[in-house]
Amino acid sequence: MKAGERTFVAALNDLVDERVVLHGWATAVKAKGASCGISFRDRTGTTTVVDASNGSSAAWREDITPESALRVVGVVRAGDTQGGSIQIVAEAVTVLSRACAPLPAVGNRHDQGVEDNCLRLRSPSNYLTFAVQSTFEAAVREFLRANSFVEIHTPKLTAGGNESGSNVFEVSYFGTPAFLVQATQFYVQRAIASGFDRVFEIGPVFRAESSNTGRHAVEFTGIDFELSWIDSHHDVMDVEESLLGYALTAVEEEHGEQIRREFGVVVELPRNPIPRIPFYRAREIVNRESAAGPDRLTHREEGLLSRYAKQEFGSSFIFITDFPADDKKFADMRADDGNAVHPTTTRSFDLIWRGIEISTGDQPEHRYDRLQSQLARSGLDRGTCQDYLEPYYLEMFRYGCPPHGGVGIGLSRLLMALLGRASIRETTFVFRGSGRPVP
Amino acid sequence: MKAGERTFVAALNDLVDERVVLHGWATAVKAKGASCGISFRDRTGTTTVVDASNGSSAAWREDITPESALRVVGVVRAGDTQGGSIQIVAEAVTVLSRACAPLPAVGNRHDQGVEDNCLRLRSPSNYLTFAVQSTFEAAVREFLRANSFVEIHTPKLTAGGNESGSNVFEVSYFGTPAFLVQATQFYVQRAIASGFDRVFEIGPVFRAESSNTGRHAVEFTGIDFELSWIDSHHDVMDVEESLLGYALTAVEEEHGEQIRREFGVVVELPRNPIPRIPFYRAREIVNRESAAGPDRLTHREEGLLSRYAKQEFGSSFIFITDFPADDKKFADMRADDGNAVHPTTTRSFDLIWRGIEISTGDQPEHRYDRLQSQLARSGLDRGTCQDYLEPYYLEMFRYGCPPHGGVGIGLSRLLMALLGRASIRETTFVFRGSGRPVP
């Protein structure tokens, strides 16, 4: 079918008395009586299809079960009996694919016991979710390319490259063990060390964690960008806040109205700059010892900080920066201004939006001598991990790696915040948790 | 560093007598004598940095080893002693990252014994390869989005979903076996069955094949698009040839001159339409029994067909269509016009460019009853594969799946053809073959 030969339901109002070709699904079929006809849906809306003989030769309807895929050729009429709504008077209805009957129950995606099926995914809110994702990504790429970033693709299979040995998926790689990447950062850093200046990648990331929090998936799409020649992690935050402002404005312009209608949510744009609160100060704001440990925040605390930002600065976006240093994370650059009151910190930051951590970023250490001593102090043992880090991670820094930093944004989490959804299952096309990886 | 504070070497000619900030690498350092200075490179070109005192206070140079990463602040001068070439008279040179000495030997990427390192990747031809890739992809997305395709991300981990059980990577998934996807098609079809109309994905694909052909990688980036409501696979070819024409024109406009200079290759644009030759006819053209088997072509034959297209039609792009049907491939739609002379064929096609198969596409069977009988005839046994296909693959077709078709394009292979490279290693940022997956 050539693109020009198809009409969408949303365009019918402007085509009264014209002959059109529609493609979509029967949502209900009423074969007899005065109001006989087919309720018809495509991804832009619904209409009614009646036959030219006004019900007298309804033979073609017998074969049509709900959710059957149809091609309808007919003339658009301003309906007279149905309160003025548009109808299609069909010349031909072709069943392209007949749906089995009866239809299965359509579960709630949030309900973790129910497997997805294609019918539930046909809802307008589902399509909108992924149309928004596609618009957001396109704007992200537009912004990054306009700012001299080059898109790259890095390997997902590696003999190492993961900072910690836990929570990784092991793969049998021609008889030897390999792993799926837990983060894209190692390889985007490799591009930086290879002189690429500014790079980004949008691709899958794998974490073998079986949390059932509504925010975690074992496989998710990461948006990672990394840039050279920075002075500090604040240069990275500068790029991220401009990027989000640009991309969310694009979403608001293209889908804002529909998002309000389907999800009852207004697209929130970030202030520029987004407030930047050091971790030690964030702890003072939430005013308590945290259950998350000395260098992290709980989800509840992230929610409190987001509300604090909304109240103080008028927007729920907030950067938490300068997390405490941890010897085990040898690759982090230590801040120069650590002192006894606020112990050594790293050039790191998280971005929280509507209570959800949507990205994490940093300026890693790029100086070979410092990395060597930090690795020695880390106590990482000389197992598989070390065997990989020693030649491959450190090699990147031997020959003049520029200072650099970057961010990883979780795409489905960002969509949760953007659309006000309660679970990452709602914003992932096919979700992967700790259950069997089906469908 | 703010973007505006940096100058690239390529821009220096227009900035004589101005103060600039450069970031890049020392390629060589000459600390003594009249021509003392630093040869300096960024990704746009090379220049020379001399110090303000004209060699008398050369202390800062002692520390600078080749490939050290530098920030240079200085004034641009039209050189007087060096044949008029531009120089930077430095006010300050900061070593941001000192390279270890001596530098390692830089191998030829084509040489399969040599591991990549970041130094080799710093060559201008390498950067150009991936800048071209980024431009090509951006144009592909622009074209597809303008034609109502939505970008999606589908899972790479699956309990099945691969048509054959061979050549898959097995993953330990919370104690049960899972696999990395061999093709994106199953999941883009799922989006079609879910009412998405037109979708595309650009992401990794995994094939556990240890071929060392120069054309195979075990992990590569696939560009997959799929569209609903087609009449036949020719509708898919129509989209693909327009897509390639658009995206290759964008590459020619942005990088054509540089590609000629670096690789000695002219960007070849496809004719529209690209010639479409049925498989049986392609066999007649190469005029022999094939060593590849009854339903395939050898690389040599692909080369012959590409040269045939060049000679007959003036362009080396050629579609080979309608491959013979194979009972084992139960998901393929059978052509209606199979007969005794040309046995049953499928609605399938490959695209060959400069002798390289760069994509493969088809219209799969979408009618539930036909799929059931084709699956029964396939003889696929009821193992893991069947266990997955039966509920999950077939489920997509139970409730009115539209007729659809699509294509998978191998991005690195396309770059091989585009840039005239002999090996896929040259066009993959970090290559994965059957050796240990490092770096």
Condensed to tens digits (0 to 9), the pLDDT of residues A102-144 reads 988 776 665 544 456 788 889 888 999 999 999 999 999 999 9
**Alpha-carbon separation of residue A162 from A191, A201, A228, A395, B53 (angstroms):** 17, 17, 22, 15, 48
CB-CB under 8 Å, A402 with B23:
yes
CB-CB under 8 Å, B368 with A97:
yes
- E strand or H helix at B409, and its extent? strand B404-410
Mean of all residue pLDDT scores within chain A: 88
- CB A374 within 8 Å of CB A397: no
Angle at which helices A124-146 and A233-263 cross, to 10°: 150
Name the closest residue on chain B to residue A399, using Cα atoms: B99
Could you give the CA distance from residue A260 to residue A266 in angstroms, rounded to a whole number? Answer: 6
- Whether A69 has a pLDDT exceeding 50, the answer reads yes
Give Dmax (Cα) for chain B: 89
CB-CB under 8 Å, A97 with B23:
no
Nearest CA-CA distance, residue A287 and chain B, Å: 35
B195: nearest CB among A121, A366, A396? A121
Mean of all residue pLDDT scores within chain B: 89
CB-CB under 8 Å, B158 with A437:
yes
- Whether A54 has a pLDDT exceeding 60, the answer reads no
Nearest CA-CA distance, residue A264 and chain B, Å: 23
CA of residue B303 relative to chain centroid, distance:
20
Contacts of A51 (CB under 8 A, 6+ apart): A37, A57, A58, A60, A61, A89, A90, A93
Could you give the CA distance from residue A325 to residue A279 in angstroms, rounded to a whole number? Answer: 11
3-state secondary structure of A51: strand
Could you give the CA distance from residue B265 to residue B247 in angstroms, rounded to a whole number? Answer: 17
Res A287: pLDDT: 77
Pick from A223-237, B191-205, B329-343, B415-429: least confident: B329-343
Pick from A176-180, A190-194, A359-363, B204-208: least confident: A176-180
Supply the Cα-derived Rg of chain B in whole angstroms: 27
Could you give the CA distance from residue A261 to residue A281 in angstroms, rounded to a whole number? Answer: 38
pLDDT band for A329, please (50, 70, 90 cuts): confident
Average pLDDT over residues A313-319: 96
CB-CB under 8 Å, B126 with A191:
no
Roughly how many angstroms between the first and final C-alpha of chain B, as a whole number?
A: 29
Contacts of B183 (CB under 8 A, 6+ apart): B162, B163, B205, B222, B224, B408
ipTM reported for the complex, 2 dp: 0.94
- CB B145 within 8 Å of CB B151: yes
Contacts of B181 (CB under 8 A, 6+ apart): B154, B155, B156, B157, B158, B161, B162, B187, B205, B206
Res A410: pLDDT: 98
Q: Would the pTM of this model clear 0.90, i.e. be above it? A: yes
Nearest CA-CA distance, residue B436 and chain A, Å: 7
Tell me the pLDDT tens digit for each residue of B246-265: 999 999 999 999 999 999 99
Q: In the beta sheet, which residues pair with residue B40?
A: B26, B47
- CB A185 within 8 Å of CB A408: yes
